[in-house]
Each structure stands twice: as C-alpha cells, then as structure tokens.
Chains A and B, each alone.
Chain A
C-alpha cells in the first residue's frame, strides 16, 4: 500500500518547471480560482484552465513511457485523446458534456494534432525545435490520415442528421427499418405510434366538447352525411391546434365516417401521408360510440306544464386506437 502511494507521489512530483505536471497543477489551480470568482473573470480563468489541461495532457501523452503504452499496432493514439479534450473544451457544453459539434470536430482536430509532430525538426545547433516542411513520405501520411479522419467525422455527422430527422418526424420511428441499407435498429421493440394516437385523442376531446351534453336532435343533425362532410375538417383543424408543434403535423390527415348499420358509431381515421415502410401507406382508427343519455343531477323546479321526460342528450364514448392498417386500394371519399 505504501509502495503504491510512493510510486504515485514520485510520478506526480514535478521534476522541473518545464514538465507536464506543472501544467496539470496550473489547470487544477485555475479551476479552483474560477470557482471562487464570478463572471466575466470566471470565464477567462476557466478557459485558461482548459488550455492548461490540454497542454498538460499533450505533454503527458508524448512522454516516452506513456507513448509506448499508448501505441497499438504502430498507431499512437495520443493525439485522439488530446483531440477529445480539446474538442470538449472548444465545442462542449458548460459542464463539459459533449455536443454533436464536439463529436464531429474530434477526428479532424486529432488528425491535425497527429501531424504537428511532422512539422517540427530538432535543430542540433540551437537546441530548440524549429518549423520545417515535412518530408514527402510524411506528407502522404498526413494527407491519408486527414482524409480518413474526415470520413469518420462525416459518419458522425450522418448519425446526428438521422437523429434530427427521427426527432422531426417521430412517427417514422414506429415503423420497420429492417430493409434499410443504411441504418440498424438496436432495440426493435414496437414503439407506439405517438403521432397518430395524439391526433386521435385530441380529436376525441374536440368531439366531446361538440357533442357531449347537446340535445339529441342537434347531435343527429351533426352526424348526418351532409353536415359531417363540413364538420370533420373543422374538427380536424381543432385537433391539429392542440397537437404539439412538429413538422410532421401536416402529414397526418383526419377523416371520419359513420359506420353503416349503427346508431351511431363514428370512426375517426388518422391517415399517415409521409414516408413509411408500407408502400401503400397506413391509417389508424378510433371508434366512438355516440348514443343518447339522460341528464343527471337534481331536477329543476317542478313546472306542471313541462313534459314528463327529461331532455335526451348526446354522450360520446371512444375506444382505444387501433393498430395501423394498410390503406385499401380504392380511394376513400
């Protein structure tokens, strides 16, 4: 136990002013100072702290012992570690969490760090490193390394682009990706079709406000074919207003029809018109049973002249939304 602590202490003790331990300690010191002060000084000191951390880790990874440990198959991965920290600093969030931009910039920055070594030549006379143009072999290596890292960053960018699309059109996520040549679903659980279900629920609410508690004659008139064709678009507009703002809202179409031979079952249909694994598209339905009910509650003052029965009012009771069904070939009016 004591030997381990001794070894750690020996490793961390700075051998001189110009060593990586100095920079790491400077960085820790800056973090402490930044915690005490407040902005704008805090921002400057925090950035200095990051800068010292980057320089310290850069120096540390180029230490010969560490460098040998970090070399796999002839490829020294130190620049990628330094690059990750630099990208977290430059593009990361305030508490150090990575952002899409930090992922996308990480490979090219690391490639640039990897190639800086080839621009430096030790000068035997002055004992300091000087800038030099790299040799042709090194130039080819730099070009290949830079290009391959740019391709890796393009792959990261593709991933974030696909995520943005899935967020903009959430309904697509509930579809089947097995035929895709580009993506793989890691967790193919059946995610529910949230877009359609939200629309149908909003439509149910609008329907209830329109028909619940209204006189039965009005309800029947509302459900008649001529009125229905005019009322359904208004119902759809109301339901769309209640939906969360999303670019896929105009890809859902709400229709309704009264099922034949029923008194009365209104079938609300949400038709998806966007990209889908089924070439013919699909729709989700919700069946609402509209029937007569009696008004509950204490009767009003007894009026000898009024009719004996209480007024008939409409009630609306809807079932759960169905599974997606493919649209049949003939067009529905």
Chain B
C-alpha cells in the first residue's frame, strides 16, 4: 500500500469525527476515502490535499536553474572553446542531472531522519527558522563539491553518449604540452582545461544562487519590518 502508517491512523480519526461517515473503505492500492451515508466520497480528504502547495519551491528552483544554465553556458563557451549550442546543451544537462540527483538523495534520506532532525527540517521548510546555521553552511559546502563532481562526470558521459569526438587540434596541443624540450611548449593556460572550466562555472552559478537567496532574505526582512 502506498500509505504511511500515520496517514492511515489520522484518516481513521478524521472519518470517526465526521458526523455523517459510517466507515472507512480501503480501495485497492489507493487512499482511504470517507464515504457518507449516500455512498458519495467525501471531499474532505481530497480538498485537504490542495490548500498548501510547494509553489514557492518550484518557482525558486526554476529561477535558479535558468540562472545557472545561462551563466554556466557562458563560462563553458569561454573556457572550453565550444560553440553556443553545445555549451547550452552541456550546461542544461549537467544542471538538470545534479538537481535530480539532489532530489533523489533528499527523498532517500528523509525517512531515515530521527524525529528531532525531522522536526528541524519541518520548521525550516514551513517557517524558515533554523536553529543550526553551521549545519546549513556545511550542507551548502558539501553540495558545492558534490555538484562539481557530478557536473564533471556528467559532461564526460554526455560526450560519450553523443559520440562527440575530441577535436584533433586540441589533442595535438595537449600532447605537445608534454613533449618537453623537443616539442613546442604550449603554455598551460592555452590548453582548454575541462575540470578548471567546470569548477569556475560551478562557482559562478553557486555565487549567483547565493546572491539571489540573499536578495530574497533582505527583501523579506524589509517587508516584514515595514
């Protein structure tokens, strides 16, 4: 059944308190519905699902994604010397991939949280109150490193998936770097360095996101104080 035990018991409570309900009907694999005397499903439980919606989270995530993709594609185009379309594809794929992996980790970790930590998580999500700022900063740092690694690997896999061959000229320059006295030494900065480019792109997008969060906090505070 796709119902948590708590939902089950509270549905029983809600149905028991409703004056017109007579029993709880368990549908095959579905939510419980209160049925009143005339066998019409009561809309109490269905409407209860729609008055608190995570719309702000969705909007903020869209904003962050668009900003990150725009900034990262510019940085990758500059530093990796690839075209505009390719850089946007790389940036979009890696950002979407890291966002999806982040959400999956969150949904895996949430049931494993202890009651105290879950209550802190609840008060952060619903009331924007955090009793533990170092934890937030630590999580931000860890997510920066993890996102960087995911993006780096993601670009490699994407190239593999799309069958993009490495540019012949870039290969020649890369091998010339290591030929020492016999070959022409290309300056280190001339060779497109992928990890460095991804690191810069990640740093710039995270800074932009932090700036947006800071602007929102400031905005809320001035609105709240006025």
Contact A183 B53 (CB under 8 A): yes
Contact bitstring A154-174, B, C-beta under 8 A = 1, else 0:
110111011111111110110
Q: Which of A27-35, A271-279, A283-291, A316-324 contacts B (4 or more CB under 8 A)?
A: A271-279
By size class, the interface of chain A is 35 or more
| B79-112 interface (Cβ within 8 A of A) | 89, 92-93, 96-97, 99-100, 103-104, 107, 110
Q: Which residues of B contact A100 (CB under 8 A)?
A: 2, 31
The answer, yes or no, to whether B51 is at the interface (CB within 8 Å) is yes
Nearest Cβ in chain A — how far from B100, in angstroms? 5
| A181-215 interface (Cβ within 8 A of B) | 181-187
The answer, yes or no, to whether A234 is at the interface (CB within 8 Å) is no
Contact B30 A99 (CB under 8 A): yes
Nearest Cβ in chain A — how far from B121, in angstroms? 9
Contact bitstring A120-163, B, C-beta under 8 A = 1, else 0:
00000000000000001001100110011011001101110111
CA distance A163 to B10 in the complex (A): 12
The answer, yes or no, to whether A247 is at the interface (CB within 8 Å) is yes
Nearest Cβ in chain B — how far from A74, in angstroms? 17
Q: How many A-B residue pairs have CB under 8 A?
A: 164
Q: Which of A63-71, A89-97, A257-265, A296-304 contacts B (4 or more CB under 8 A)?
A: A89-97
- The dominant DSSP class at the B interface is helix
Interface size in chain B (residues, C-beta < 8 A): 56
Contact B125 A147 (CB under 8 A): no
Q: Which residues of A contact B216 (CB under 8 A)?
A: 181
The answer, yes or no, to whether A242 is at the interface (CB within 8 Å) is no
Across the interface, A244 reaches (CB within 8 A) one of B10, B31, B52, B53, namely B10
| B23-37 interface (Cβ within 8 A of A) | 27-31
Given A99-B31, A172-B126, A179-B127: A154 touches B51 (CB 8 Å cut-off) = no
Q: Which residues of A contact B161 (CB under 8 A)?
A: 139, 143
Q: Which residues of A contact B2 (CB under 8 A)?
A: 99-101
Q: Which residues of A contact B126 (CB under 8 A)?
A: 172, 175, 177, 180, 182-183, 275, 277
Nearest Cβ in chain A — how far from B76, in angstroms? 15
The answer, yes or no, to whether B134 is at the interface (CB within 8 Å) is no
Contact B128 A179 (CB under 8 A): yes
Instruction: Give B residues with C-beta under 8 Å from A.
Output: 2, 4, 6-7, 9-13, 16, 27-31, 48-58, 60-61, 89, 92-93, 96-97, 99-100, 103-104, 107, 110, 119-120, 122-123, 125-129, 158, 161-164, 216, 220, 224
- 17 new A-B contacts, CB < 8 A, other than A151-B103, A179-B220, A183-B56, are A91-B29, A93-B27, A93-B28, A100-B31, A140-B89, A155-B54, A155-B61, A158-B57, A161-B107, A168-B6, A168-B10, A179-B127, A179-B224, A180-B125, A184-B53, A244-B10, A246-B10
Q: Enumerate 11 A-B pairs (CB-CB under 8 Å) in ascending A order.
A: A158-B103, A164-B6, A165-B122, A177-B126, A179-B128, A181-B60, A183-B55, A244-B9, A244-B13, A245-B9, A277-B126
